[in-house]
Amino acid sequence: MFVKHGMNSGFSSLASSAVLRRQQFLIRSLKGYSVSDKIRMEAVKCLSGGASLEANAESVLRTITPSLDPTRHKGQAGKIAVIGGCREYTGAPYFAAISALKIGADLSHVFCTEGAATVIKSYSPELIVHPILEESYNISGVNDEGKRDISKKILSEFDKWMERFDCLVVGPGLGRDPFLLECVSKIMTRARQSNVPIVVDGDGLFLVTNSIELVSGYRLAVLTPNVNEYKRLVQKVLGCDVNDQNTHGELLSLSKQIGNVTILRKGKSDLISDGEKVQSVSIYGSPRRCGGQGDILSGSVAVFLFWARQCNSAAERESTISRTNPTVLGCIAGSALLRKAAALAFEHKKRSTLTTDIIEHLGQSLEAISPAS
């Protein structure tokens, strides 16, 4: 489900349904309406509450997912970079990067340590893997000046690629090595200076929680904490424990305090806020909670965030769609698609469902909602 804060009563649902029926009747009456009219009406459905609570998330997916067009060239559907992967963790960056490709991004890169690169490459030839990151254990005999030189080299290497990316995913399988995190913080700062959107997950949230200035006030940043990561964010930023009696108000306050950064709080219902409003995605997913689903989500949000920005730009030119925060739309779409793919995978595999099974159902789930044209 996808609802606005305070719009969860039965009366509100009935009222929004009546409004949508009138809108649909008007569309049928205006036969032959244009593509721009369709975009506008989909946006109205999204913003007004929609025909049903679940249908709103689907309308976001339909609105922002681009049609397959043979005139487009490689790269126009999205170029995503995942910053993560160390000697202990290789699955998480793979899951995030391959999910972006399975949804429809054209290119997916992984920036990781040398110890992780060969393993990640072995998972799939589709990924472009850059083994440029370093961990402390690998440079233990290097003095401070040497470490600074290594850090500069890493940043310089990443700079060669920065302008090519439409979104970064920071954190899957990153680990908590101090030197590695220091280098990644510099990459995030450089991405922010270049106005590249950033989705932060996993150990990237550990980094951000301890260095909140990396994302504070950056409206193109998305944080995707689970229950424990969210708890640490609340304690760090708001200086209190999580208040389960005021989840919406607390999430609003947290986002505002970080400068209206969009936060996707994962849970039974995924709650999303950019400090202006709170929205929820509660489509039923799967009772199987295998590790790695958060990595699918981060890769998905990155792609949808880029597509939402493209959609907003086109709408702005046509003056037919209200400006809607693309980071929020990206979170809604990513959450909804993951849940649908997880449900479909569980239907086939039941208790033995794995993250790779869910990934294999991403394309099918998206096509069911937004058929290629």
Q: Is 226 annotated as a binding residue?
A: yes
Cα separation, 155 vs 140, whole angstroms: 20
Q: Is 228 annotated as a binding residue?
A: yes
Pairing of strands 3-4, 262-265: unpaired
Q: Is 99 annotated as a binding residue?
A: no
Q: Is 325 annotated as a binding residue?
A: no
Q: Is 16 annotated as a binding residue?
A: no
Which H/E stretch holds residue 151? helix 144-162
Minimal CA–CA distance to 258: which of 225, 302, 222? 222
Q: Is 291 annotated as a binding residue?
A: yes
HSE at residue 313, side-chain half, CA atoms within 13 A, is: 7
Q: Is 293 annotated as a binding residue?
A: yes
What single DSSP character describes residue 87? S
In contact, 68 and 373? CB cutoff 8 Å: yes
Q: Is 273 annotated as a binding residue?
A: no
Which residues is 110 bridged to in the sheet? 82, 129
Q: Is 110 annotated as a binding residue?
A: no
Q: Is 323 annotated as a binding residue?
A: no
Tokens of 316: 């702005």
* φ/ψ of residue 372, rounded to 5: -65, 145
Q: Is 69 annotated as a binding residue?
A: no
DSSP 326-341: HHHHHHHHHHHHHHHH
Q: Is 269 annotated as a binding residue?
A: yes
DSSP 296-361: HHHHHHHHHHHHHHHHHHHHHHHT-S----HHHHHHHHHHHHHHHHHHHHHHHHGGG--HHHHHHT
In contact, 79 and 166? CB cutoff 8 Å: yes
Q: Is 289 annotated as a binding residue?
A: yes
Cα separation, 339 vs 266, whole angstroms: 11
Q: Is 349 annotated as a binding residue?
A: no
Q: Is 266 annotated as a binding residue?
A: yes
Q: Is 230 annotated as a binding residue?
A: yes
Q: Is 227 annotated as a binding residue?
A: yes
Which H/E stretch holds residue 79? strand 79-83
Residues in binding site for (6S)-NADPHX: 173, 226-232, 295
Residues in binding site: 173, 226-232, 266-270, 285-295
Residues in binding site for ATP: 266-270, 285-294
